[in-house]
Amino acid sequence: MDKSTFVIHVNGQKHRVEVESNTPLLWVIREHIGLMGTKFGCGVAQCGACTIHLNGNPVRSCVLPVSAAEGSEITTIEGISEDNSHPLQKAWIAEQVPQCGYCQSGQIMQAVALLEKNKKPSREEIITHMNGVICRCGTYVRIIKAIERATLEG
């Protein structure tokens, strides 16, 4: 396949990349832009480790072709806070959520999307929204507590 040039906006910065149009956005973010916070997990949009925001909505970047993201605003885990001061990041630390840490950027990006749309979600709304972002270590109770803490402190 032939390479094309795409202009994508990631964390407020414009990037010009030359890749095949069907290249997953995940690999563009990691390999061409150099942002390593977004993780590869399953490659089929089932685990959520690769979650980013596309125009404010959480999407799985492992299956989203770069061609579909051109002209959109993309936010990665690096873009939610320059100094880890986002209320969710603080709550994640306070609740000691991470064990292995692999899913954490996807978990936080999914949670940020929820809180941007619903400042005070119920426990049931949190559980429903976070469903589908897999934590292999099983820290779901701490994840929920961290989101609840962020709603109180944010």
State the CATH number of the domain containing residue 10.
Answer: 3.10.20.30
Checking if the pLDDT of 147 tops 80, the result is yes
Domain closes at, from 32, 48, 78: 78
Q: What is the mean pLDDT of residues 116-143?
A: 96
10 and 65 within one domain: yes
Residue with tokens 């005070």: 120
Q: What is the mean pLDDT of residues 149-154?
A: 86
Domain closes at, from 53, 78, 103: 78
Q: What is the pLDDT of residues 33-65, one digit of tens each?
A: 999 999 999 999 999 999 999 999 999 999 999
Q: What is the pLDDT of residues 92-102, one digit of tens each?
A: 999 999 999 89
* Domain, as residue range, for 49: 3-78
Please report, for the domain that includes residue 138, its CATH number: 1.10.150.120
118 and 74 within one domain: no
Question: What pLDDT score does 82 carry?
Answer: 87
User: For residues 50 and 62, what is the distance between their CA atoms, to the nearest angstrom?
Assistant: 6
Tell me the CA distances in angstroms from 147 to 91, 129, 139, one per residue in order: 7, 11, 13
